[in-house]
C-alpha cells in the first residue's frame, strides 16, 4: 500500500513537473514575442517622419501629405468652377454654366438668375468671349476665399473690359462623378464679395 501511495505521489509530481515546464515555456515564448514586437514598433516609429501642422501639432508626415493632396484637389475644384462660371464665349456659355451649377448649391444658381434678370449676359452681343487669366485661392477649414482677374474680349481680340472678382464660399467633399464632378467636391454658400472694374489702358 505504501508503494502504491509512492507511485501516486510520483505520478502527481510528474504531472506537476510537466505542467510547470509547459508554463515556463509559454512564459518564455510570451516574453520573446513581446520583445520582438517592442523592437518592431520602435523601428517602425523611427521610420515615420513627423511634421508640424499650421496649429503647431505634431503630425505624421503621411497625414500632412494627404492633407496637402486634399487641398490641391480643393483648389483645382474651385479653379474649375470659376473658369466655367465666369469664362465662356457666346457659343458655349450654357454648357459651361451648367457644369458650374452641377458642382455648386442654389447660391450659385441665384447669382446666375440675377445675371439673366438684370441683363448682364446681353453684353455677349458686344463681346466675343470672357476669360479668366489669373486665380488665387486661400482655404481655411473648408472655407475659401478667391481672387480672379476677368477679361472681356472684343470680336477683334482686343480687351473690352477688365475686372477683379472677389468671392468666398465653402467647399465640401462629395462623391466624384467624372466628367461632371472630376474632383469630388461641391461649393456651398457662394458669395460674390465684389466685382471691380479695372482700367484697360
Q: What's the confidence (pLDDT) of residue 199?
A: 77
Cell numbers for 63: 497625414
27 and 100 inside one domain: no
Q: What's the confidence (pLDDT) of residue 62?
A: 65
Across 61-90, average pLDDT? 86
Q: Is the peptide bond before 179 cis (omega within 30 degrees of 0)?
A: yes
Asked whether the predicted pLDDT for residue 193 surpasses 90, the reply is yes
Count of structural domains, the chain: 2
Please check whether residue 136 lies inside any domain of the structure: yes
Asked whether the predicted pLDDT for residue 157 surpasses 70, the reply is yes
Q: Which of 119, 126, 120, 121 is nearest to 154 (CA)?
A: 126
119 and 157 inside one domain: yes
For cell 505520478, name the residue: 11
40 and 87 inside one domain: no
Q: What's the confidence (pLDDT) of residue 188?
A: 97
Q: What's the confidence (pLDDT) of residue 60?
A: 63
d(CA 148, CA 165): 5
d(CA 85, CA 117): 17
Cell numbers for 47: 521610420
- The H or E element spanning position 5 is helix 2-47
For cell 477649414, name the residue: 141
Please check whether residue 53 lies inside any domain of the structure: no
Percent of the chain with pLDDT over 90: 40
Cell numbers for 173: 467633399
Domain that holds residue 181: 58-198
CB 108 within 8 A of CB 101: yes
What DSSP line would sit under 13-50, residue for residue? HHHHHHHHHHHHHHHHHHHHHHHHHHHHHHHHHHH--E
Across 172-194, average pLDDT? 92
Across 142-167, average pLDDT? 91
Q: What's the confidence (pLDDT) of residue 81?
A: 96
d(CA 48, CA 39): 15
d(CA 200, CA 196): 12
- Average pLDDT of the chain? 82
24 and 119 inside one domain: no
Across 123-127, average pLDDT? 66
Q: What's the confidence (pLDDT) of residue 52?
A: 46
170 and 133 inside one domain: yes
Condensed to tens digits (0 to 9), the pLDDT of residues 76-95 reads 999 999 999 999 887 888 89
Asked whether the predicted pLDDT for residue 68 surpasses 50, the reply is yes
113 and 156 inside one domain: yes
Q: At what angle do helices 106-118 and 93-102 cross, to 10 degrees?
A: 150
Condensed to tens digits (0 to 9), the pLDDT of residues 12-57 reads 667 777 788 888 888 888 888 888 877 776 665 555 555 545 555 5
Asked whether the predicted pLDDT for residue 138 surpasses 70, the reply is yes
Tell which wins on pLDDT, 73 or 19. 73
30 and 95 inside one domain: no
Tell me, yes or no, if the pTM score tops 0.85. Answer: no
d(CA 171, CA 161): 30
- 126 half-sphere exposure, CB direction, 13 A CA radius: 9
Please check whether residue 52 lies inside any domain of the structure: no
Q: What's the confidence (pLDDT) of residue 6?
A: 56
Across 104-133, average pLDDT? 83
Amino acid at each position: 500500500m505504501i508503494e502504491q501511495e509512492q507511485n501516486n505521489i510520483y505520478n502527481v509530481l510528474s504531472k506537476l513537473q510537466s505542467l510547470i515546464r509547459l508554463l515556463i515555456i509559454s512564459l518564455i515564448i510570451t516574453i520573446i514575442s513581446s520583445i520582438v514586437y517592442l523592437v518592431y514598433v520602435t523601428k517602425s516609429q523611427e521610420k515615420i517622419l513627423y511634421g508640424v501642422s499650421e496649429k503647431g501639432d505634431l503630425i505624421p508626415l503621411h497625414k500632412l501629405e494627404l492633407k496637402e493632396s486634399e487641398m490641391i484637389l480643393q483648389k483645382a475644384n474651385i479653379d474649375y468652377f470659376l473658369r466655367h462660371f465666369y469664362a465662356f464665349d457666346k457659343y458655349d456659355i450654357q454648357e459651361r454654366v451648367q457644369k458650374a451649377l452641377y458642382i455648386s448649391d442654389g447660391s450659385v444658381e441665384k447669382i446666375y438668375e440675377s445675371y439673366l434678370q438684370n441683363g448682364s449676359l446681353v453684353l455677349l452681343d458686344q463681346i466675343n468671349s470672357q476669360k479668366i487669366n489669373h486665380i488665387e485661392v486661400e482655404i481655411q477649414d473648408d472655407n475659401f476665399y478667391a481672387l480672379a482677374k476677368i477679361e472681356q474680349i472684343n470680336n477683334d481680340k482686343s480687351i473690352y473690359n477688365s475686372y477683379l472678382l472677389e468671392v468666398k464660399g465653402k467647399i465640401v467633399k462629395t462623391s466624384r462623378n467624372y466628367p461632371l464632378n472630376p474632383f469630388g467636391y461641391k461649393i456651398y454658400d457662394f458669395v460674390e464679395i465684389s466685382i471691380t472694374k479695372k482700367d484697360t489702358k
